[in-house]
Amino acid sequence: MPTPERFVSLVVQKYGGSSVADAESIKRVARRIVGTKQSGVEVAVVVSAMGDTTDDLLDLAQQVSPSPAGREMDMLLTAGERISMALLAMAIYDQGEEARSYTGSQAGMLTTSSHGRAQIIDVTPGRLRTALDENAIPVLAGFQGVSPDTKDVTTLGRGGSDTTAVALAAALGADVCEIYTDVDGVFTSDPRSVPKASKLTAVTYEEMLELAAAGAKVLHIRCVEYARRQNLPIHVRSSFSDREGTWVLSSEAVAELVERGEMEEPIISGVAHDLTEAKLTVVGVPDKPGEAAEIFEVISTVGANLDMIVQNVSTDGRTDITLTLSGSDADAAMAALREAQPAIGFTDILFDPGIAKVSLVGAGMRRHPGVSATFFRALAEAGINVEMISTSEIRISVVCRAEDAPRATAAVHSAFGLDSDETAIVYAGTGR
Ligand code: ASP
Ligand code: MG
């Protein structure tokens, strides 16, 4: 793989919360940044809130108000990144380089106005470009922006600093976006629950998107979408070691690595599970044209994030529709459906929060027969009951009981020969 030193003139480095969890870590990261700069590479930095700050702020908000206003929530949460950006800039000064910290709004991160899930619509990084031109290191607060419509501060959703970093890298024309985390790269499963997970040399944008959607927490999904659109290489690596991490690249670039013998042709890139979804069944839906449209229109009014959708065989002119959705959207979706129940005419809604989704992802599935058979056999032998199934071209997912998810994941990981001889190192972080 082309190492950064070989082709990079401008790099954006993003440091996650566990990499800047305390004063010592902030100084260590500052040394790393200054080292990069002094090796002759222009560097701009994006930083997350220290350690579990965001979760702590969320907990605190809950204690003050059960359903805080989105605007105030974003004001609160963006404070986390303001703390780390200023501290990091100070530490960089002490290492002998000039640094300037910026909030998302100061740095021209323009977003939609939806609080807690804003999308970046434009980046106008003039001030950061000027800082670079004046030989200073810009340090940008991750996960936040400002809406040009409402003039209010927004956040991009949990884990959004990755997206900030890729958007900034694209806007500055960086050669690579380095995402620093507390493990050595992207693994075939979360090393926190599968210690025998193997590190991937490279993975395609498409596979990474599927992994992120399947619950792999290593990269924010929008960040991967953004990088794919811009064909921007991402290098996921640890801020605690100097090891080469995992490259996230186009499928052409990955094929080139395979051709050059720098990695084996991958069939499966990973197994992930997601505990954040809930299952909702709309029972006794009249089996006639337009009913599904009405149901999904109602759900869409609350902006719920849907995943799987299954309609059962109908009996006596009625059918059931089961769907999975983000657990945090479930209450709102159910309330909207109950209100529409008399008009739509279904008989009941069943709610099941105790589910997990277990997914197998790999571009090689397209070419290799028997992948589904191995997957379902592994689940069967682990005694896992499958409640729903859905697939894409490069993914198979099942819904099972939440408590079975770790066992299911480990069983599938072993069945595909993904277990490594080494134990993956988790350097820091609570994985919260
Ligand atoms: N601090 C935010 C979070 O914990 C954003 C991020 O870390 O990317 O979700
Ligand atoms: Mg974080």
- Tens-digit pLDDT profile for residues 261-314: 999 888 999 999 999 999 999 999 999 999 999 999 999 999 898 999 999 888
| Between 216 and 164, residue with greater pLDDT | 164
Neighbours of 148 (CB within 10 A): 12
Q: Assess whether the C-beta atom of 48 lies below 6 angstroms from ligand 1.
A: yes
Whichever domain contains 39, its CATH number is 3.40.1160.10
Residue 256, CB half-sphere, CA atoms under 13 Å: how many?
8
Cβ–ligand 1 distance for 54 under 6 Å, the answer: yes
DSSP assigned state of 362: -
**Cβ of 166 below 6 Å from ligand 1:** no
What is the rounded distance in angstroms from the CA atom of residue 58 to the CA atom of residue 270?
31
Cβ of residue 187 lying under 6 Å from some atom of ligand 1:
no
Long-range pairs for 125-130: beta carbons < 8 A, 24 or more residues apart: 125/168, 125/171, 125/172, 127/102, 128/44, 128/102, 128/168, 128/172, 129/172
- In degrees and rounded to multiples of 5, residue 140 shows phi and psi of -105, 135
- Ligand 1 atom 5 nearest Cα: 159
Around Cβ 430, how many Cβ atoms within 10 Å?
12
- What domain count does the chain have? 1
Pick the closest to residue 249 from 238, 87, 263 (CA basis): 263
How far, in Å, CA of 25 to CA of 91, rounded?
A: 10
18, 431 contact by CB (below 8 A): no
Residue 215 resides in a domain: yes
pLDDT in tens, 309-335: 999 888 889 999 999 999 999 999 999
Q: How far is the CA of 227 from the centre of ligand 1 (A)?
A: 18
Is position 344 within any domain? no
- The candidate with the shortest Cα–Cα distance to 249, out of 292, 200, 288, is 200
Residue 240 in tokens: 């605690």
Measured in Å, residue 411 CA sits from the centre of ligand 1 at 31
User: pLDDT at residue 430 above 60?
Assistant: no
Question: Rounded mean pLDDT of 395-409?
Answer: 97
| Residue 99 and residue 93 in contact, taking contact as beta carbons nearer than 8 Å | yes
Q: Is 351 within the bounds of a domain?
A: no
Within a domain: 408: no
State how far the alpha carbon of 92 is from the alpha carbons of 88, 97, 176, 196, 345, in Å: 6, 6, 21, 36, 63
Give the Cα separation of 106 and 396 in Å (integer): 43
Question: Would you say residue 392 lies in a domain?
Answer: no
Relative to beta strand 270-274, strand 355-361 is antiparallel
Structure tokens at 197: 């997970």
- 161 CB near ligand 1 (under 6 Å): yes
What is the predicted pLDDT for the residue at 422?
87
Cα dihedral: 105, 106, 107, 109 (round 10) = 10
Candidate from 161, 166, 217 with most ligand 1 atoms within 8 A of CB, to mutate:
161
- What tens digit of pLDDT does each residue of 67-104 get? 999 999 999 999 999 999 999 999 999 999 999 999 99
Average pLDDT for residues 60-65, to the nearest whole number? 97
The rounded Å distance from CA 237 to ligand 1 centre is 17
Is the CB of 186 within 6 Å of ligand 1? no
SS3 204: strand
Within-domain flag for 297: no
The answer to whether the CB of 46 falls within 8 A of the CB of 89 is: no
| pLDDT confidence tier of residue 369, bands split at 50, 70 and 90 | confident
In this structure, is residue 280 part of a structural domain? no
Q: Is the CB of 51 under 6 A from ligand 1?
A: no
pLDDT of residue 5 exceeding 70, the answer is no
Cβ 160 under 6 angstroms from ligand 1: yes
Residue 359 within a domain: no
**Does ligand 1 have an atom closer than 6 angstroms to the CB of 15?**
no
Using a 10 angstrom Cβ sphere, with 0-12 exposed, 13-18 middle and 19 or more buried, the burial of residue 39 is: exposed
pTM to 2 decimal places:
0.91
Residue nearest to atom 9 of ligand 1 (CA): 158
Looking at the CA of residue 80, tell me the nearest atom of ligand 1: 1
CA–CA gap between residue 185 and residue 218 (Å, rounded):
8
Q: Which ligand is nearest to the CA of 53?
A: 1
* Ligand index nearest the alpha carbon of residue 48: 1
Q: What is the 47 CA–ligand 1 centroid distance (Å)?
A: 9
pLDDT confidence of 190, banded at 50, 70, 90?
Answer: very high
| DSSP SS3 for 224 | helix
Q: Which domain holds residue 37?
A: 6-262
Report helix angle 371-381 to 405-415, nearest 10: 130
Q: To test ligand 1's pocket by mutation, which of 56, 84, 143 has the most ligand atoms within 8 angstroms of CB?
A: 143
Distance from Cα 68 to the centre of ligand 1, integer Å: 19
- Give yes or no for residue 80 CB within 6 A of ligand 1: yes
Average pLDDT, the chain: 94
